[in-house]
Amino acid sequence: MSDKIAALIAEVEEEGTLEEVRRALDEGAGPLSLVEALREGMSVVGDKYEAKEYFLPDLIISAEIFKEAIALIEPRLQGGNSATKGAVVIGTVHGDIHDIGKNIVATMLRCNGYDVHDLGVDVPPQSFVNKASQTQAGLVAMSGLLTLGFDAMKDTVDALAEAGLKDKLKIIIGGGSVNEKVLEYCRADAFGKNPTEAVRLADRYMG
């Protein structure tokens, strides 16, 4: 069932993907497994886009399918359980408007019991600081696909440090170009290569 969902969204099949997600939910499939299937399918879309097999409209449509599918899944995730593992602030850094990866991470963190505060895209450093302070977040997660986002990540880490928050929480970063060198430059605590790893990092720091 999960394989079929991954294949359908990878083929940018809106109706088929949503129908299969509904069926899986009705049959009692685990919400997190469905999110992971959608993530796998989106990863295939990304690979095809890089290989020039897909084009920008395919990327945009697949992202919309993902959002629609998540909208079906999220009510089953919350299920009236008010207990959370803690607050997480997440956003795409200033100067970058890419949000597919960030949205997947936010959803998977919610699946795993975190109280996620999604600031959206093109988020200035002070907004991360304000929300982290307001929510007493234990984790700040920054996403950036473009290399120009590295300076914004560093500026945000510096802003959190200046506000006296850096020692009170953990900071993780992620995005297509993020690696150990970027981590060292930004002085964050860790980087995640994919959404699943981001959740593992959250569990390590806050679980």
CA 202 → CA 23, 68, 133, 137, 172, distances in Å?
30, 25, 18, 12, 9
pLDDT digits (tens, 9 = 90+) for 134-155: 999 999 999 998 888 999 999 9
Alpha-helical segments (H) within the chain: 2-10, 14-26, 31-50, 56-78, 100-111, 125-135, 149-162, 180-186, 195-206
Distance between CA atoms of 61 and 199, rounded to whole angstroms?
26
98-102, 143-147, 169-173, 193-197: range with highest mean pLDDT: 169-173
Q: Domain coordinates of the chain in residue numbers?
A: 2-78, 87-206
pLDDT at position 194 is 81
List Cβ neighbours of 26 (8 Å cut-off, separation of 6 or more): none
pLDDT above 80 (res 105): yes
CATH code matching the domain that covers 87-206, chosen among 3.40.50.280, 3.40.50.2300, 1.10.3720.10, 3.40.50.2020: 3.40.50.280
Nearest to 88, CA basis, from 170, 189, 173: 170
pLDDT above 70 (res 202): yes
Q: Does domain 2-78 have CATH number 2.40.70.10?
A: no
CA 64 → CA 12, 13, 22, 95, distances in Å?
10, 11, 16, 22
Distance between CA atoms of 171 and 183, rounded to whole angstroms?
10
Contact between 5 and 42 (Cβ < 8 Å): no
pLDDT digits (tens, 9 = 90+) for 51-76: 899 988 998 898 889 989 988 998 88
Q: Does the pTM of the predicted model rise above 0.95?
A: no
Distance between CA atoms of 123 and 121, rounded to whole angstroms?
5
Supply 64's token pair: 């919309």
Which residues make beta-bridge pairs with 181?
Answer: none
Average pLDDT, the chain: 90
Contact between 24 and 76 (Cβ < 8 Å): no
